Amino acid sequence: MPEPVISAAGLRMSYGDLEAVRGIDLEVQPGEIFAFLGPNGAGKTTTVEIFEGYRRRTGGEVRVLGVDPQKATRQWRQRVGFVLQECRLTPELTVREAIAQYAGYYSAPRDVGETMSLVGLDEKADARTSTLSGGQQRRLDVALALVGDPELLFLDEPTTGFDPSARRQAWDVIGSMRELGKTVFLTTHYMDEAQVLADRAAIIVAGEIVAEGDPAELGSDGGPEAVISFRLPKGLSLAELPAPFSRAAKQGEALVSHASGDPLADLRVLIDWAQTRHVGLPSLEVRRPSLEDVFLELTQR
Amino acid sequence: MNLVLHQFRFDQKVFWRNPASVFFTVLLPLIFLFIFATIFGNEEIEERGVQTTTYYVPAIISLAVISATTVSLAINLTEDRERGLLKRVRGTPLPPTVFVAGRVGNALVISVLMVILVAILGRVVYDVSLPDQTIPAVLVTLAVGAFAFSCLGFALTAMIPSEDAAPAVTNAIMLPLYFVSGVFIPDSEIPPGVLQVADVFPVRHFFEAFFAAWDPNTTGSGLELGHLAIVAGWGVLGLLLALRFFRWEPRR
């Protein structure tokens, strides 16, 4: 087995009395896209900044590309690229100039034009960065991270605040990292992002990892088997439904949603009830729990 | 060295494309020279035995150099820090010293340009003679001043909490200093007590060093070592403060 690109054991970080990260263990393998999920304030950015070498930890062991990031050297920085959560780029430079400036910092940079194409900004090559949309600025930021041709890429909430089409474009760019053979460590609070992009994901809540694994299977052990949902038939209230649906969560005006541990039995009860009462079950749906369901369940515990 | 030039080239681009930089750093000192020379006319300042215009050329040169170094650096570095740009650059293989060298190099080149522009303007429009005998003194004063006031720019950045506060804090410090140090008003009009206060700070000493080089009554090299020592001392203080307190990460 190759050496992991990132490994952390018992990683801790406190700010005074506040323990932001409370003993994290994780490993990221070469070529993997790893999603680090969690609600705001869970310790995502603190963890990623420790990996990036920005922050000193208060406990535990960390190796990134075989080096303790607290002792980051220029050679190490040649191999690591990153997009920070918040960074406004120099407004006076054009897209091409901004990428060329960063290319100059690395010993073996990628071609500037090729890097621009990679993030889909060819048409904006000579536009000032200040004229770019939020999504385009973020993609330029990714280009700055890629131009040094790093082995490992950190992306801290790369699509926060994006409209849906900008997110899709950003996902295409991040997904293409796989073809380039890069290892990607991605933090996000969007479940769908992890599900679309990641090979593996870990969920951090209040400084601790509460679940880890294949995003498609996350939470399948011990979690709900399926989610049964339908619209509440007209004229009925939630309390009139059979158990366990009478206790189900109601989303919006009329959508009943039940995370079921035994979907076959629950469905039988529901269908028998509907047939006896001669009511329809509009928009009936049985689906595997999404990462979102798992996430909500884990973060609300 | 190549990397310093690389960085400097982009710093120059950014400077000349930023309307605020060009206006406040390049045009405003020239406008000041016009305004003061026009308002105060071509009278003689008896205490110094020179024409008012001869006084204002080195005064505005001091202001221009401080503006290209302390003021520009503090405002732009604070902005870049709060934007997350400094933090981002810090994570690349670019050595911090090269980043600093690019910025200071930029400030130095603009300073040299301003000395030349103000000197030529003084010569052409107001017939203020160029310091042909004292060019070495001008160069030494410029070098010491640009170093010291650049260090103070980095130190000041460390004291400024936010992007919005940067121009306000910088001007709140510099404008009163320009006034009490005789940069805006000839020092013959300033009470001695006020001048004593000004003598604590580097602006007045920097002006005195340039004045000696432009003063037609100067005999000898025009090198004001005493004044320059005080300017350099402030520079060292600025350097120490910057090394201790300068941060690459946003304060917010």
At A234-244, the pLDDT tens digits run 888 888 888 88
Task: Dump pLDDT digits (tens) for A245-281.
Answer: 887 776 666 788 887 878 888 899 999 998 998 888 8
pLDDT for A145: 92
pLDDT at residue A166 greater than cutoff 90? no
Q: Which residues contact B142 (CB under 8 A, 6 or more apart)?
A: B65, B111, B112, B115
Nearest to B84 among A86, A101, A104 (CB): A86
A74 with B93: Cβ contact below 8 A: yes
Instruction: Name the residue with tokens 């995370």.
Output: A259
Nearest to A92 among B18, B92, B250 (CB): B18
B91 with A53: Cβ contact below 8 A: yes
A107 with B88: Cβ contact below 8 A: no
Is A127 in the B-facing interface, judged by CB distances under 8 Å?
Answer: no
pLDDT for B92: 94
Model ipTM? Answer: 0.90
A101 with B83: Cβ contact below 8 A: no
Is B95 in the A-facing interface, judged by CB distances under 8 Å?
Answer: yes
pLDDT for B233: 98
Residue A85, amino acid: Q
- What average pLDDT values come out for chain B (252 residues) when binned by 10 residues? 93 95 95 90 85 94 97 96 93 95 96 97 93 92 97 97 94 96 92 95 97 91 94 98 95 80
Q: CA nearest A142: which of A99, A197, A190? A: A99
**Cβ neighbourhood burial of A257 (10 Å; 0-12, 13-18, 19+):** middle
Q: How close B179 comes to chain A (CA, Å)?
A: 33
pLDDT for B145: 97
pLDDT for A291: 67
pLDDT for A220: 56
pLDDT for A153: 95
With beta carbons under 8 A apart, name residues in chain A contacting B92: 77, 102, 105-106, 148
Instruction: Name the residue with tokens 């509460």.
Output: A210
Q: Please state, in angstroms and rounded to a whole number, the distance separating the CA atoms of residues A73 and A66.
A: 12
Task: Dump pLDDT digits (tens) for B156-179.
Answer: 999 999 999 999 999 999 999 999
Give residue A162's pLDDT band: very low, low, confident or very high (50, 70, 90).
confident
Give residue A96's pLDDT band: very low, low, confident or very high (50, 70, 90).
very high
pLDDT for B147: 96
pLDDT at residue A39 greater than cutoff 90? no
pLDDT for B219: 86
Q: How close A159 comes to chain B (CA, Å)?
A: 17
Q: Please state, in angstroms and rounded to a whole number, the distance separating the CA atoms of residues A159 and A85.
A: 9
With beta carbons under 8 A apart, name residues in chain B contacting A102: 92
Q: How far is CA A123 from CA A96, A143, A174, A259, in A?
A: 10, 14, 19, 47
Best residue in A80, A92, A96 to probe B by mutation, most B CBs within 10 Å? A92
Mean pLDDT, chain A, whole residue set: 87
- Does the global pTM surpass 0.80? yes
Q: CA nearest B72: which of B106, B97, B95, B116? A: B106
